[in-house]
Amino acid sequence: MVSYKLLTPEDVYFSAPPPAEDSTEEKPADAPLCPEKKTCSTSTAFVGLGTCLFVVGCVWLIGTVFWLKDPGSQLPHRLLPPTAQAPPNKSCGAVPEPRRFDCYPERGVVVTQELCEARNCCFIQVSKSPGAKSGVPWCFYPPGFPSYTLDSLNETEMGYTGQLTKRVKTYYPKDIETLQLSVTFETDSRLHVKITDPSSLRFEVPISVPNATQKATNPAYTVEFSKEPFGLIVKRTSTGTVLINTTVAPLFYADQFLQLSSSLASRFVYGLGEHRAGFLHSVDWTTLTMWARDVPPTELTNLYGVHPFYLGMEPGGSAHGVFLLNSNAMDVVLQPAPALTWRTIGGVLDIYVFLGPDPSSVVQQYLEVVGLPAMPIYWALGFHLCRWGYKTSNGTWEVVKAMRNYGIPQDVQWNDIDYMDGFRDFTFDPNSFPTLPDMVKDLHRNGQRYVMILDPGISSTQPAGSYWPYDEGMKRGIFIKDFSGNTLIGKVWPGLTAYPDFSDPDAHQWWLENLQQFYAKVPFDGLWIDMNEPSNFLDGALGGCPSSDLEDPPYTPGILGGTLRAKTLCASAVQKMSVHYNMHSLYGLMEAMASASALKKIVGKRPFVISRSTFAGQGRYSGHWLGDNKSRWKDLIMSVPGILNFNLLGIPLVGADICGFGGSTEEELCVRWTQLGAFYPFSRNHNSIDEQAQDPTTFSPLARTAMKEVLLLRYSLFPLLYTLFHHAHLEGRTVARPLLFEFPEDMQTYSIDRQFLWGSSLLVTPVLDPGVDYVSGYFPKGLWYDFYTGVAVRSGGEDVKLSAPLDKINLHVREGAVVPTQTPNTTLWISTGNPLRLIVALRDDGSATGDLFWDDGESIDTYETGQYAYIAFNVSQKTFTSTVLHSHVEATYITVETVSFFGVREEPSNVTVNSKDVPFTYRTNQVLTVTDLGLNLSQGFMIRW
């Protein structure tokens, strides 16, 4: 049941109760000044009472001067008059370093005691001695710093509404003194908290979210409130674990500065993309800035996408998630209390809390709000090849032919911007790429596909009437405007450019028509949308940006470049829905929406879109690649947490540029990267102009063979991968999965990001270091089988050293799984018609389960319209059954030829298929195999031994 009570500040704490003071018994609230067992003379009483009144009067006077002093200025850094009093040193010193919340987060300012105390905050300089933690704020909020008060709280049909009031102004301009609080119990596992300005509409992110109409009947959470200062405390009902406690620091809600802090249930925090970091974030004073930016992946830098969602682990292995639906520039600060601070410069505080209780459920609940990922077209899961710098269409074509000659799998060929005429969208160079249409036709004849790049910047400098995209865009008024209402001009690859406003439906129609015209010349199959943060080689615009609060807000998060306009558009630029200040980080999402919609209309199949910039919910429209990495071992290593993080964030179709984009690769690095990249959900080799070619055909026979074999291995696992994407689309499950998600009670898995799982059953342990022929991997407790041999590894939860010569990547199948595989070929168009082999990994009790989703691979909404087959596999008591739960003609084209059982303890005397004896083999490593079955997938069957 939901509980509600008002708390005093003493009632709330971080993730554990406050330590006991001493053995002294606490006095009742109505205890007299003198204990009952002692007598008090009249004179003693008067002296004591006088002393108390004097002290109270002094405290009241000092407090009144201190807290009610109003800066009375719109300048955020204005010093208070000299009469302002700093907090008492005693109360400041009592705040432990891990729980000091930064009162002066501005960058580029040397925070002095005078500046700090002008904000009525504590100033304690932290020693820089060796071993001292960096990041501890010198200026921090004292106990009792003014915040909002919960003036009223009313129960509603869906939860509560309340009014918050601020009686003391803060040091940021345009405080909003009265706020509206809404707490909605949307489902048993989802709580929605929203704080808005009741007197004025503020920008809210324009994405579709569920509209709950019925209050949760048995929520997994309890909600409590603190009145003075206002605070919200959310607990897990079953354990009492505090998931959120916002009383730990004051709430700020000014026009351009919103800040909310909360305790964390533990130090184990994940998500908060897009950043280059390990899968597990550090809470040792880490600031993660969010504001979409064109920059190669760099630590502690705001990157291409914005995803203000985190997953937190709790003692005992439960998990929860928190999502701030806000697109404005923000900092998210993690500190070792542990605690987190959301600090954004616009919009509203719109927060969802997801109760899980396991990590996978948290992600599923998050995706119920922002949207489930799309089901990819089948060839999206093949191998993709690209580079910037093929230089000619014939040069591109020759690489495709070389891949075919060596029998190396390839489904998709791409081109970067060098195919364009003058780097202009919707053109191809008639001199360098004259045979591009013929190459695309050749790809299609061989069951392959073509994808080309598009940048949003539209060239503006050609003569009027010579470039339809710009002329028509100007005519329709679909470009982003500057503050004075003229088309904003920036600069990217073609030179001076205008930017389509994808928040305008008219721009979507214009985009569609441009794509239709280009498709008539070059029948492409998918789109690669790049530079859509949006990127700009200028800061803001050709004519500069105006001086305003939008361009230079009172607080600027830790954005690379120091300003909102750095290498993008002016924050004051005007779009259909709002100013760019609010819309900036949504640009990639809205371009992806326009692109996916256009592709559906043009090709009539599932759209394939890969986008560099992303926002929450973008998995509905596109996949993502991790950007312009480099050919370094470090980048190979960091790609693993990258793909895990985006699976957590609901964009499972993700990968990194295999072998690296920038710089020239080395053969060993490229082999190891191809092995790992074969297990990226989105697998593409891509490199930069004027660098050494790195497609598999360019290497030595040994390296080329190793790459070929691992890509064939990927193709053999297509039935498993495709089924995993079905579950991602239907239920919000991850494809590339952290070990933590399957073993949340094993804390050894919490920081593992050099291994991962496909789904729940296939453990991938890649080599990520140079010059080695082995790799150590962690095997959670249980029984694991070598994918290639079926040899069992029984683990108690330990690291295992594995042989890993240059031609091998280690794979292990988890006990209890049935893994569907397929005879591979060089394209998925061919191999998806080949026979299946089922690998059955038995538990000690002889059981296992699995499934297979199958359809035509390209039609839209096959599950939603019932145009699919779904087969369940089960093993119990030495009997394997295949049951068709949903039938479709596509399953009739596939046969099951081989079933291998790992972990059969004793050699059977006979094996029957549908009650008929069949030949079998049994090896000493306890692998039982039956072959030449010829069983149609569309019909159920049974194998006994």
**Residues carrying an active site annotation:** 530, 533
Residue 452 β-bridge partners: 415, 527
Omega before 357 within 30 of 0, i.e. cis: yes
Measure the CA–CA gap between 558 and 500, rounded to whole angstroms. Answer: 27
In terms of Cα–Cα distance, which of 767, 554, 501, 445 is closest to 71?
554
Measure the CA–CA gap between 795 and 793, rounded to whole angstroms. Answer: 6
First CA to last CA distance, the chain? 51
Name the pairing type of β-strands 231-236 and 221-226.
antiparallel
Contact, 772 vs 791, CB < 8 A? no
Measure the CA–CA gap between 320 and 344, rounded to whole angstroms. Answer: 22
Report residue 106 as tokens.
């501005």
User: CA–CA distance from 530 to each of 500, 522, 571, 587, 874 (Å)?
Assistant: 14, 19, 20, 11, 44
Q: Burial code of 506-522, b = ≥16 C-beta within 10 A, e = fewer?
A: ebbebbbbbbeebbeeb
In terms of Cα–Cα distance, which of 232, 251, 149 is closest to 183?
232
Contact, 182 vs 153, CB < 8 A? no
* CA geometry: angle 817, 682, 408, nearest 5 deg: 90
Measure the CA–CA gap between 332 and 343, rounded to whole angstroms. Answer: 6
Tell me if residue 645 falls in helix, strand or coil. Answer: helix
Sign of the torsion formed by the C-alpha atoms of 464, 465, 467 and 471: positive
Q: E-strand spans in 668-746? A: 683-687, 736-737
Sheet holding 307-313, edge to edge: 148-155, 159-166, 178-187, 190-196, 349-354, 319-324, 307-313, 269-273
Contact, 567 vs 489, CB < 8 A? no
Whose tokens are 């829905």? That residue is 577
Report residue 310 as tokens.
């985190």
Exposed, middle or buried, 745 (CB in 10 Å: 0-12/13-18/19+)? exposed
Report residue 358 as tokens.
């396991």
Exposed, middle or buried, 68 (CB in 10 Å: 0-12/13-18/19+)? exposed
Measure the CA–CA gap between 688 and 418, rounded to whole angstroms. Answer: 11
Report residue 728 as tokens.
């991602």
User: CA–CA distance from 32 to each of 25, 36, 193, 598 (Å)?
Assistant: 15, 8, 42, 77
Measure the CA–CA gap between 247 and 140, rounded to whole angstroms. Answer: 15
Q: Which residues contact 560 (CB under 8 A, 6 or more apart)?
A: 289, 293, 295, 298, 301, 302, 566
Residue-wise DSSP of 891-935: GGG-EEEEEEEE---S--S-EEETTEEE--EEETTTEEEE----E
User: CA–CA distance from 716 to each of 712, 827, 854 (Å)?
Assistant: 6, 11, 15
DSSP 8-class letter at 730? H
User: CA–CA distance from 465 to each of 427, 460, 487, 513 (Å)?
Assistant: 15, 11, 17, 17
Longest dimension (CA), the chain: 108
